[in-house]
Structure 1
């Protein structure tokens, strides 16, 4: 803390307040004349010591200022300069991962804590409508949350009269090239409802994977939908859980439609990467508040 004070900063930016206890403790202090948070953790801080919140035009709803104690600043487009991964995807043997290569593959790559109990039924309903299909979830290093999610889903699938093990598999985290390979093989990428993914959705776009997302009221539920809006694929943004289910089912059943979506992603995704507009806007903002 003293090291920060000694530098006599004009502006102090916290990328991820709330992701660890130390960030919250530091942000609760006045260490610079202007203190700023941004969406490494996509929530208002509620702290009187944080003056501004940096977000993005494509990620916020109308009247978004009402959701923040800070003064909201929306940078253009997605609000960031994002470089594509650019690595070569590994051609995966799905069978070695325990995935049935004959079944439609619905990829569910969110961290387990992002899956809210009230949405568990959505997966069982998709399975009921589709019949043969497979949902692929991931097990992080700390496995207890994945086990809790597995037990919840098992209970819901049982209520639907469905054999959980025929429809759902949990696999360990994959490295970048292997994950990209799985994205290439996935028929649908299911974004987490209520707590959207950004990096995973950007990776999905880079591999041409069709995304289904349920747009939420707050920033945390609007990350993937912002990406889809930016590339002109609003049709993949669900306004309700029922719409989410219907979109997933349509993408699985209608191969021609799925292929058209992939082609549109491949054609339009260039606008997502290395966008200088947010950089210029951030420079202008910092110059203004520092003075």
Structure 2
């Protein structure tokens, strides 16, 4: 009675102020009672309707919240704040499309409305429309909140210059008191631009200022920057002694690997750290509820360069990560149910950053789309619009992994092809799930995925050794021939003067990225250059200069002086092909050799010395040499490798004769339809039932 009497004596403005105070103190039910008292006297009080809608939402009364905000909108339909509040209520109700429309109305009424723009940008980003989200934010006036959202978004879209500009504008607003968040955004943008030294300095400053979650963000980005420079031990130290308290960070720490290992001892140390780290995570029964928090340690592409059969280790990694974050193992709703009628629906997840319409994934999509009984769906992960194949469609998967899982669920796929599972974190994270009854990995990353969710690994019969099935956790499907481009490569003018290459020296090119060059390669290069005093070793310069310095230091220990190494720039494909044609000999790398590189070099008439090892990734160049009729270039020992390289390098007539054979062979190989036809039939008609899947 006392409360009622006090409320009755309070004026409407006083009641509204008291209700706001109570709501701000986290007492929405009490606030709602005051709003109800106001509305009992003035049912058309728009402000009370609006504020009571927000209190009802906070109190868990969604239907009442919706009724109140609708009542307020009926009175003041041009109030942008009301439309934003409606969007909040719709989001809580799971009505994403209606929420988006409400936010669009709010922005139409008030174009400079940062809160609405941020909410709508978040919605569009979750739906996979990164460019649309960025456009919304760019239309808003500068504020720390808008720029804090814009900078990382632009990095994710590949616009690092725009991200750096946004971070610098945020820091300018903060003047003499820069925030750790602004510095983190600046350091991340610098890292994406390849300005690693500046990024490291900026991130160190951010780490000194940051607290809580921001400190971990700065620490993680700093570790990434150090790892890119090849400072893998420094990266590990940056994670800190208490990294084990945070499972996602502990996984990243365990997974830290040298990009350019100084020795085989470095490789052994890093691998042991990984094994020990995985064991610790399992023993602690570590748990990560959100897959988006797993920033590193899901994919381990560097293991492929170690020359070891890692089937058991890859399975161990996959199972540990799946146990760490069980939601990665999401199963689509249609799995196990009767297949839908109509055309067989097959999705192809293209590699991140792959040019639209190019590569094996694009060829496969076109081949599938040519089948009347197949609906081919092009899928992308990097925010770029998916290029739909003829008679098919495309879909850009959302950045958020939960949303990406939902998007794949909705497609109800019969088959899902992963073009490069194992190479990138997000693609590998999605590959843990079961989104189709048939899930296949192509050899874009030439090693087993280790995933129980991948049914088949697609390889080429001629590249696999005897007993190859034991190298894969997946069942192994061998194509009768690799999938071939329609036409041989065409190099730009391969004149050495135009490429700034010396005309009087023998040029031996290893075209593989530096992380694929094991310490064993150094000894091979040293012996070749010792046998050919006019010889130079050519390598493509990495984006990170520090890596070149690490390799030069390591090679010096093997006897290769820095002046005997000629660094080339790989600016675009035409220049890369011209370099393959202009050099005298292409050297395949042991452990993880070339595939397309070897094929292109041979098609251009340049002999390739190809190592034939025990694993598929160590035999691809050897396959191409045999296919082009250059069998003498296939070697199995270090002595034979050096001998064959010098035989080509020191004998111009031998190179000329080889070039004639190679160029004559190219037309019969390119455009060969057997590989593509076999893969299309495999996916459209179903895999052979006789193949057994090896035990994990």
Scaled by the length of structure 2, what TM-score is found?
Answer: 0.39
Q: Equivalent of 1:277, from 674, 678, 693?
A: 674
Which string of whole-angstrom CA distances, capped at 9 and with x for unpartnered residues, describes residues 167-226 of structure 1?
211222242222222222211011111111112112212211011011121111111111
Pair 1:137 & 2:534 matched: no
Q: What residue is the counterpart of 2:641 in the other structure?
A: 244
**Structure-2 change in CA distance of 1:190 and 1:273 (3 Å):** same
Of 275-284 and 11-20, the range deviating more from structure 2? 275-284
Pair 1:191 & 2:593 matched: no
**Structure-2 change in CA distance of 1:249 and 1:274 (3 Å):** same
CA distance in 1, matches of 2:429, 2:411: 19
Q: What residue is the counterpart of 1:33 in the other structure?
A: 437
Q: Equivalent of 2:550, from 126, 148, 152?
A: 148
Q: What residue is the counterpart of 1:120 in the other structure?
A: 522
**Structure-2 change in CA distance of 1:86 and 1:203 (3 Å):** closer
Q: What residue is the counterpart of 2:448 in the other structure?
A: 44
Q: What residue is the counterpart of 2:240 in the other structure?
A: none
Residue ranges of structure 2 left out of the alignment (5+ in a row): 1-404, 689-696
CA distance in 1, matches of 2:602, 2:487: 10
Please say if residues 489 and 577 of structure 2, whose CA atoms lie closer than 8 Å, have aligned partners that are also in contact.
Answer: no
Q: Equivalent of 2:487, from 78, 84, 98?
A: 84
Please say if residues 193 and 221 of structure 1, whose CA atoms lie closer than 8 Å, have aligned partners that are also in contact.
Answer: yes
Please say if residues 231 and 271 of structure 1, whose CA atoms lie closer than 8 Å, have aligned partners that are also in contact.
Answer: no
Which string of whole-angstrom CA distances, capped at 9 and with x for unpartnered residues, describes residues 129-182 of structure 1?
112211111112233333221221122226xxxx431x2112222422222222
Pair 1:110 & 2:508 matched: no
CA distance in 2, matches of 1:89, 1:150: 29
CA distance in 1, matches of 2:680, 2:569: 41
Q: Equivalent of 2:460, from 53, 56, 64?
A: 56
1:5 Cα shift? 1.0
CA distance in 1, matches of 2:537, 2:489: 26
CA distance in 1, matches of 2:509, 2:611: 15
Please say if residues 77 and 230 of structure 1, whose CA atoms lie closer than 8 Å, have aligned partners that are also in contact.
Answer: no
Q: What residue is the counterpart of 1:75 in the other structure?
A: 479
Q: Runs of at least 4 residues of structure 1 off by over 6 A?
A: none
CA distance in 2, matches of 1:132, 1:81: 36
Please say if residues 509 and 539 of structure 2, whose CA atoms lie closer than 8 Å, have aligned partners that are also in contact.
Answer: yes
CA distance in 1, matches of 2:616, 2:559: 30
Please say if residues 83 and 274 of structure 1, whose CA atoms lie closer than 8 Å, have aligned partners that are also in contact.
Answer: yes
Please say if residues 106 and 189 of structure 1, whose CA atoms lie closer than 8 Å, have aligned partners that are also in contact.
Answer: yes
Query: Could you say what the CA RMSD is over the residues aligned between the two structures, in angstroms?
Result: 1.9
Q: Equivalent of 1:204, from 595, 598, 601?
A: 601
> Which of the pair has the greater relative contact order for Cα pairs under 8 Å at 6+ separation?
1
Q: Equivalent of 1:176, from 566, 573, 589?
A: 573
CA distance in 1, matches of 2:631, 2:592: 18
1:84 Cα shift? 3.3
CA distance in 2, matches of 1:164, 1:145: 14
Between Structure 1 and Structure 2, the one with more strand by share is 1
1:96 Cα shift? 6.5
Paired residues, number: 284
**Structure-2 change in CA distance of 1:223 and 1:149 (3 Å):** same
Matches within 5 A, 1:220-231: 220-231=617-628
**Structure-2 change in CA distance of 1:12 and 1:255 (3 Å):** same
Q: Equivalent of 2:562, from 164, 181, 184?
A: 164
**Structure-2 change in CA distance of 1:154 and 1:287 (3 Å):** same
Please say if residues 581 and 604 of structure 2, whose CA atoms lie closer than 8 Å, have aligned partners that are also in contact.
Answer: yes
**Structure-2 change in CA distance of 1:93 and 1:253 (3 Å):** closer
Structure with the greater alpha carbon radius of gyration: 2
